[in-house]
Amino acid sequence: GTRSCPGSRAGFGVPLRGPDPLLLFLAVSFTVAAGRGGQVLYTLFPPGRVINAGKSQHNEDQACCEVVFVGRRPSPRGRLPRGFYFHYWALFDGHAGSGAAVLASKRLHLHICEQLRDLVDILQDPSPPPICLSHDVRAGPAELSRVPLAEDNGEVPNDAVPRFHLEKAVSHESLVIGAIENAFKHMVSKPLPAGTPRAPPGSISLLSLSAPACPLRAIIIRNGEIIPMSREFTPETERQRLQFLAFLRPELLGKEFTHLEFPRRIQPKELGKKMLYRDQNMNALPVGWGCATPQEDDLKFPLIYGEGKKARVMATIGVTRGLGDHDLKVFSSNIHIKPFLSCFPEVRVYDLTQYEHCPDDVLVLGTDGLWDVTNDKEVAGVVMEVLMSYEPNDPCRYTMVAQELVVRSRGVLKERGWRLANDKLGSGDDISVFVIPLGGPGNYT
């Protein structure tokens, strides 16, 4: 189906147009709850509620798959509607509740659409984007952010010819990236429409085709090659950012934490002795360590504690980028954790036009219920194994890949609990997977 953002003339149900092969992409989601006894419900996209056997009352994984029409803002000159489509896949993993994940699954793509509406004419013009978007200094804020209106022929004047040697070149791609980044910012700063219920407490980690964040991940499998499309954002990988913020604003630590990191907690008897430490000036990866003499303040609890999947910010939360958690505080204190959590994504671009894809080339998006027990190589093996058992023009093959990934990550119920094929524990989390083909049967060679 199709969706359009509020205010566009296209509305719902606008038919797809044009020969763009992107419009033919099939997105399949296969969602299953972590089976710890009780019923397990399999659903094809759109995902419904699944029973996750006591982990939480509702499924904390939420998904969205939309074809969204971005229409030009209404023009006082009565110009004909103009716009374009974008294809959107996203997974949201809720923490301590499903409310924030549900809200983001219903609204984030609308924020992206709203950010792109000012760029409709620019993105459809092959010439370089203009530096100044309006010549009318008396225009209001909405007009200043709009493309300058041309004559009745509907063409956008190209005023992007450099006039000064210091002008920076801005690509269309970077405008789209900026729109996505701003959409995430507005997702947490814009008030909700009247009548919208406030999301329950909690947070989400995010993953979309262009804006991934930990603990959700995405990989592309192309001609048997694994191409990571995301990287993890954990207290360890973002240590420098967190420590630098704490260094600049020590009041955020509430006199309970220290921004320095030591290999272990400092003991009072070790004051005055040299110890290994890390601060905001040392690279996160590869790891850099130095020597310093601990002070009394360093006896406090470290800002980042633990390592690997057990690493936590202020001994409370294991994710550092996401939406929500506005009211989250350190246990039994008035110290807010939200200032250390970022809502901004890292956007990675994969140009589909640079390669000729076959029907076996896919993008796999999954929540941590998949990646906690299955690595990239194992996922790629399952993808190739299942795809080879179906004809290239059979659309059900992608459904079966998603189903197999979920079932293998869940495991089989045995006497000692849910077990994988290697007898290790199966995933105890909700599992959601998108399998998105990058090429159609017409591209198959």
Domains of the chain plus CATH, in order, are: 3-229+350-443 (3.60.40.10), 239-340 (no CATH)
Taking a C-beta distance cutoff of 8 angstroms, is the pair 225, 362 a contact?
Answer: no
Say how many C-beta atoms besides its own lie within 10 A of residue 56's C-beta. Answer: 16
What are residue 245's DSSP bridge partners? none
- Which residues in the chain come in under a pLDDT of 70? 1-58, 75-81, 134-166, 190-215, 284-286, 440-445
Give the Cα separation of 64 and 112 in Å (integer).
13
Contacts of 60 (CB under 8 A, 6+ apart): 52, 93, 94, 95, 97, 98, 101, 430
- pLDDT of amino acid 80: 58
pLDDT of residue 77: 63
- Rounded distance between C-alpha atoms, residue 91 and residue 45, angstroms: 12
Instruction: Please give the helix or strand (H or E) that residue 85 lies within, else none.
Output: strand 83-95
How many other C-beta atoms are found inside a 10 Å radius of the C-beta of residue 60? 27
pLDDT tens by residue, 135-193: 433 333 344 344 444 444 445 555 555 555 667 888 889 999 999 999 998 887 754 55
Contact 185, 343 (CB under 8 A): yes
What does the H/E/C string look like for 89-100?
Answer: EEEEEEECCCHH
Sign of CA dihedral 287, 290, 293, 297: negative
Per the listing, tokens 């996160």 go with 284
CA distance 387 to 383: 6
Q: What is the pLDDT of residues 372-386, one digit of tens each?
A: 899 999 999 999 999
Please tell me the predicted confidence (pLDDT) of residue 134: 58
Secondary structure percentages of the chain, helix, strand, coil, to 5: 25, 20, 55
Please answer whether residues 220 and 363 qualify as being in contact, where contact means their C-beta atoms are separated by less than 8 angstroms. yes
How far is it, in rounded angstroms, from Cα 278 to Cα 408?
40
Give the helix/strand (H/E) hosting 225. Answer: strand 225-228
